[in-house]
């Protein structure tokens, strides 16, 4: 479903997407459209887009086409989802030890809705780190 979601093709577009959005959380999936993990995550992101459009903007970035952020955000995984709010990176405690990003594909759209809703509520209150509604430390998925 990656063809249904907006792509950002250079570093300037990524910066503008993060800078320009004042009221919504910016969710960026870094990865490749051809990667199976990204395909699964894109499917979930596409399914929730209409439900969360009032408080979330979702974008896709190909890490080969736009390598500008690979070192800065440590984008070494096949699929990485990061959250930004008012030009600030919002970290999320998923119980995995890596609070910067989600680096596996979720398989339930309600889980993703819960996560972005938690990020939005926390970020709009000024928090830079929010706690995930579900603990992923017991899952062998990261």
Give the domain CATH number at 68.
Answer: 3.40.30.10
Both tokens assigned to 46: 């596409």
Residue 142 domain flag: no
Residue 138 domain flag: no
Give residue 1's pLDDT. 52
**Cα–Cα distance between 105 and 17 in angstroms, integer?**
23
Give residue 98's pLDDT. 81
Handedness of CA 33, 17, 44, 119 (dihedral sign): positive
For tokens 């440590």, the residue is 74
Total domains in the chain come to 1
Residue 1 domain flag: no
Residue 66 domain flag: yes
pLDDT along the chain (142 residues), means of 10: 82 93 94 93 93 94 91 90 94 86 90 94 92 79 51
């Amino acid at each position: 479903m990656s063809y249904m979601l907006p792509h950002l093709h250079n570093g300037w577009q990524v910066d503008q997407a993060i800078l320009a959005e004042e009221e919504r959380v910016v969710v960026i999936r870094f990865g490749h459209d051809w990667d199976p993990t990204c395909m699964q995550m894109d499917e979930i992101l596409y399914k929730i887009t209409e439900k969360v459009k009032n408080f979330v903007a979702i974008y896709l970035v190909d890490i080969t086409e736009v390598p500008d952020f690979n070192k800065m955000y440590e984008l070494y995984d096949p699929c990485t989802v990061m959250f930004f709010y008012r030009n600030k990176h919002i970290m999320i405690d998923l119980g995995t030890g890596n609070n910067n990003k989600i680096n596996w594909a979720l398989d339930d759209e309600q889980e993703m809705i819960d996560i972005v809703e938690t990020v939005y509520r926390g970020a709009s209150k000024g928090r830079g780190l929010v706690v995930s509604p579900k603990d992923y430390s017991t899952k062998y998925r990261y």
